[in-house]
Chain A
């Protein structure tokens, strides 16, 4: 069965610091999809990125970057020059290509950016 582990329950940094959120996944499928979502206090999950298992290319979007490494089953998320508005809970999620379940989420990392 698939599993997503976000070992960091809470991270607190000072504004402008760089921060990396870890995500480790488990799956038996060779085809799968990885996602990151942001959940601000309002509760709505905001989509950040989707990556399929055949695309290991890292991605950068503004201050956000993602490092996908199949060899270590990790899909880590880095925020450069963090801002107070980045404060939220961040979830990593997995969807198996052949499975029947919906997204499997990690427990989330609560990121606190202090001014």
Chain B
């Protein structure tokens, strides 16, 4: 079974721009979660999607948003990028619930200049 895939793997943007990251979960998995990893804050939960609905959300500003499609693929969007948004963005999928084992993708490294 193919693992979680994320595209693109690397991105360079400038302040004020917006960015969209994509995640394809493991086949059959319906829960997709997103995490941000920075050297200062570590790994932080962004949000979780299930059946095309946002089920949970972490403590991030409204500039961070996401969506999930009927095939469980998910995208996250960051608008009006700030320097502090530079991070590794990790997507994880699980069968139905965030309390189950989450399997992570390779991540997208975003650099904001």
A100–B24 Cα distance when bound, in Å, is 23
CB pair A43–B43 under 8 Å, yes or no, is no
A90-107 interface (Cβ within 8 A of B): 91, 93, 95, 97, 100-107
Interface residue B105 (Cβ < 8 Å from any Cβ of A): yes
Interface residue B88 (Cβ < 8 Å from any Cβ of A): yes
CB pair B101–A43 under 8 Å, yes or no, is no
Q: Report B83 CB to chain A, min CB distance, Å.
A: 20
Interface residue range, chain B: 20 to 34
A29-55 interface (Cβ within 8 A of B): 33, 35, 37, 42-47, 50
Considering the complex, give the chain B residue whose CB is closest to the CB of A105: B43
A103–B90 Cα distance when bound, in Å, is 12
B45-99 interface (Cβ within 8 A of A): 45-48, 55-56, 58, 88, 90, 92, 98-99
CB pair B106–A42 under 8 Å, yes or no, is yes
Q: Report B36 CB to chain A, min CB distance, Å.
A: 11
Known A101-B45, A102-B35; judge A47-B107 contact (CB<8 A).
no
B11-64 interface (Cβ within 8 A of A): 33, 35, 42-48, 55-56, 58
